[in-house]
């Protein structure tokens, strides 16, 4: 059963578009030590849909820039290439999975609300845990449940059965997945991460956000996402498919020497960051073509 399910998932994922060429080209450019922000900007603006959305996001409250950024090259200079690169990745993911859900009982908008909040919370927690790239942490939190969208899109009949189990028996989504499919969304999401050739830390975050102690590449990043998922669910932000608030992994709790006072001290900062991250939802619920056209860097 598990092998058959995975084959259907992999076949479906193969039909999804790869990450945009603009991201691949821009990343390759950065291997040249003599490359300039203008060079990177000229590559990115070749995809106007992505470039305009990136510009709108860098000018949102989430990044807190003191002045208006009007070109991609300015964004690279002021925010750094890693932030711009991760924004391109985030935009691409939203465009790969449209907002409109055809599945009764699954609200795609509230799913993204949970995911974006989890990204914002992961960003905050990662700073406190000393994760080297908080912006990558945001993307990890954003994508942690992406396997659920793969299931909804390519195994919809089974996905509906999972929702029914969750609602009728009150079991966690992951438990219902294991019962129906013999696997869960973390494993499914990992297949998509491999298809998209995501960096190992992001792949691990998707694969192990329910079991962070299994991470080998970036334990603190995966732990930050695990904690963020628990806290965002406890705060009732969005809806990822069930109302179950999981327990914090005991090994992570003890290994990172966490306590309730420490966690409570993060909540105000997380709340502020989540509020600022709403700009992502505002942007992506708009119809295509509604944004500004990005300016060129020439």
pLDDT tens-digit map of 142-186: 999 999 999 998 899 999 999 999 999 999 999 999 999 999 999
Q: What is the pLDDT of residue 293?
A: 43
pLDDT tens, 102-123? 788 898 889 999 999 999 999 9
- CA–CA distances in Å: residue 189 to residues 10, 178, 225: 11, 14, 15
Structural domain includes residue 171? yes
With respect to residue 148, please indicate whether it lies within any of the assigned structural domains: yes
Which residues are within 8 A (CB) of 19 and not within 5 positions of it... i.e. 6 or more apart?
89, 92, 196, 197
d(CA 246, CA 253): 13
Q: Does residue 132 lie within any of the structural domains?
A: yes
pLDDT tens profile 33-90: 788 888 888 888 888 888 888 898 899 888 888 889 999 899 988 988 888 888 888 8
> Is residue 111 in some structural domain?
yes
Three-class secondary structure of residue 16 per DSSP: coil
Domain annotation covers residue 88: no
CATH number, position 139: 1.10.3210.10
Residue 108 lies inside a defined structural domain of this protein: yes
Query: Per-residue confidence at 95, pLDDT binned at 50, 70, 90?
Result: confident
pLDDT score of 286 more than 60: no
- Per the domain annotation, does 48 fall within a domain? no
Residue 247: give the domain boundaries. 2-16+98-284
Q: Based on the structure, what is the number of domains in the chain?
A: 1
| H-run or E-run covering 272 | helix 260-276
82 domain residue, yes or no: no
């Amino acid at each position: 059963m598990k092998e058959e399910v995975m084959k259907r998932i992999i076949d479906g994922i193969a039909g999804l578009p790869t990450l945009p060429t603009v991201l691949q080209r821009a990343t390759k450019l950065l291997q040249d030590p003599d490359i300039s922000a203008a060079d990177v900007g000229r590559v990115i603006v070749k995809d106007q849909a992505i470039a305009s959305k990136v510009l709108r996001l860098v000018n949102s409250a989430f990044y807190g820039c003191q002045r208006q950024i009007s070109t991609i090259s300015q964004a690279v200079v002021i925010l750094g290439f890693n932030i711009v690169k991760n924004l391109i990745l985030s935009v691409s993911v939203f465009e790969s999975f449209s907002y409109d859900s055809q599945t009764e009982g699954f609200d795609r908008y509230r799913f993204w609300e949970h995911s974006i909040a989890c990204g914002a919370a992961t960003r905050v927690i990662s700073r406190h845990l000393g994760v080297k790239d908080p912006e990558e942490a945001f993307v990890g939190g954003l994508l942690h449940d992406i396997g659920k969208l793969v299931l909804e899109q390519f195994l919809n009949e089974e996905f509906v059965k999972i929702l029914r189990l969750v609602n009728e028996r009150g079991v966690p989504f992951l438990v219902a997945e294991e019962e129906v499919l013999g696997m869960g969304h973390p494993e499914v999401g990992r297949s998509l991460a491999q298809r998209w050739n995501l960096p190992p830390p992001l792949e691990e975050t998707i694969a192990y956000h329910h079991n962070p102690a299994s991470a080998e590449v970036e334990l603190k990043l995966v732990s930050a996402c695990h904690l963020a998922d628990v806290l965002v669910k406890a705060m009732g932000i969005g809806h990822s498919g069930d109302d179950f608030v999981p327990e914090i992994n005991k090994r992570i709790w003890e290994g990172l020497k966490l306590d309730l006072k420490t966690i409570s001290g993060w909540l105000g900062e997380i709340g502020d960051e989540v509020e600022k991250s709403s700009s992502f939802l505002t942007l992506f619920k708009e119809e295509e073509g509604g944004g500004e056209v990005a300016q060129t860097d020439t």
